[in-house]
Structure 1
């Protein structure tokens, strides 16, 4: 693992272990797949991962007005993956699909006539999607793994490629960017890798009492039911969480660990 500032760069094996070792609080139902378009393969030198990430963050902040880099994860042609925006933070990836989504940017231009995906990159993209499905109890399908191209840019509604859309993650991404192409050329590969990780069946998701949305600019997550307990982390406004238990005005938002938030700073989801 390498680190520079906020960015962590992993091999796929390291990323696998990091997911197993890290506890997340945000409700996740979607894995978004994107391509960067620019920068592409020609800008990647094999050792400038952090320079490219810093450049993307600068663009997202200066040109797009974002608070930080848009994506949670970035994959590279050499088969590595970077954690960019914390997974417990809502990404700025697909309008209408961000709140419970993880945004994966795959470096390159995968439109027809663009970059030819390197074998190591191809394997990494498949594996990253499978690992995220395992971590968040998702079964690989075109409902849990989505492309930017399937969402209307104006309305944020899923249109499966009609209306005002981008070609992202590329018109040649694993055979195409349509739903049919994903179902025939990409999702079966993810499902095969996911089956190796899970034995072909997802672990049983824990029982959820209800879901809620953080209604404070920064909500402290504590190790117990009360403000005297140590802070584990903080969650930003708009983050959707699952509630597994309630007691004394506090809600446990992790299925097994003591991660509690004050109920008064949550609002009903939906």
Structure 2
């Protein structure tokens, strides 16, 4: 395991060990797969992992205007994994889809006729996806494991690659970038690597809350003089947190460790599942407001305000019809 420029490079075995000890406060329900496209294999010399990751961060900050590198992890052709954005922060990879996601950039151009994925990278992509599914209890399904190609670039609406889409993660990524390709060629390989079962029982969760301040300290005891949590001392604006216990204005946000945040810097959120084939997002609480994207059946959302038959998405000025949500 090596660290440089603020990034850490790991082998698959090291990543598995690192991930098992990782504590993430924000709720993660989706894994996104991308390819870097450029840089492609020709720019990788088997020893320049950190330089390539730094170059991507510089591009994302200086050209895209983002606060940091967009992805949480990059998987390289030799099977190495390099960390990127802090896991407590939402990714910056698919418009309108980042708040509850882990973003993986797979180094290379995997369109037909371009880079041929190495065996080492292929196995690492499968294993990392399986490890993340186990860590965050993410079902192995195309509702929760997604490709960038399935989302409209301008609106973030899921259209499964029918218009205004990138080819990302590549037209030859595990045999193709369509939903059916993922279901037939990629997800079965992930399922084979799952260690144990995916736990979908949320009965221990008391409720969900959304962070309503720029940064919120995580402490080891329910008081402001308590030390901050050593593995992750803050959570960010808009993060959705699971609450397991309430105590005198404090919320316990871990089911296994003593980790607390002040309740006054959060607002209650309600978990819901899209129950329509396609559900339009509106800029206000009514059908007369302009569309601002759409969501697909089975996607999970968190709403923080109800107004008549409309629901507000977390900290965003974006609204959904309550009639097409399953709570």
* Cα deviation, residue 95, structure 1: 1.4
How many angstroms apart in 2 are the aligned matches of 1:43 and 1:244?
47
How many angstroms apart in 2 are the aligned matches of 1:159 and 1:192?
28
Q: Which runs of 5+ in 1 are unaligned?
A: none
How many angstroms apart in 2 are the aligned matches of 1:153 and 1:266?
31
Q: Which runs of 5+ in 2 are unaligned?
A: 270-302, 304-327
1:19 alignment partner in structure 2 = 19
TM-score (norm 2): 0.79
TM-score (norm 1): 0.96
Contact 2:147 2:169 (8 Å CA) reproduced: yes
* Cα deviation, residue 162, structure 1: 2.0
Structure with greater strand share of residues? 2
Instruction: Identify which of 214, 218, 222 aligns with 1:225.
Output: 222
* Cα deviation, residue 101, structure 1: 0.3
1:202 alignment partner in structure 2 = 198
Q: What pairs with 1:72-91 in structure 2 (closer than 5 Å)? A: 72-91=72-91
Q: CA RMSD in A?
A: 1.1
Structure with greater helix share of residues? 1
* Cα deviation, residue 150, structure 1: 0.9
How many angstroms apart in 2 are the aligned matches of 1:90 and 1:145?
16
* Cα deviation, residue 148, structure 1: 0.5
Spell out structure 1 runs of 4+ moving beyond 3 A.
203-206
* Cα deviation, residue 204, structure 1: 5.6
How many angstroms apart in 2 are the aligned matches of 1:237 and 1:5?
25
Q: Which structure has the larger Rg over C-alpha atoms?
A: 2
User: Per the alignment, do residues 204 and 160 of structure 1 end up closer, same or farther by CA in structure 2, a change over 3 Å counting?
Assistant: closer
How many angstroms apart in 2 are the aligned matches of 1:72 and 1:84?
5
How many angstroms apart in 2 are the aligned matches of 1:213 and 1:8?
29
1:262 alignment partner in structure 2 = 262
What per-residue deviation string (whole Å, max 9, x for no partner) do you get for residues 150-171 of structure 1?
A: 1112221222112321110001
How many angstroms apart in 1 are the aligned matches of 2:246 and 2:185?
44
Q: Give the paired residue count.
A: 266
How many angstroms apart in 2 are the aligned matches of 1:139 and 1:190?
11
- Of residues 243-252 and 9-18 in structure 1, the stretch that sits farther from structure 2 once superposed is 243-252
Structure 1 SS opposite 2:192:
helix
Structure 1 SS opposite 2:42:
helix
1:58 alignment partner in structure 2 = 58
Contact 1:137 1:205 (8 Å CA) reproduced: no
How many angstroms apart in 1 are the aligned matches of 2:265 and 2:5?
30
How many angstroms apart in 2 are the aligned matches of 1:159 and 1:55?
31
* Cα deviation, residue 205, structure 1: 4.4
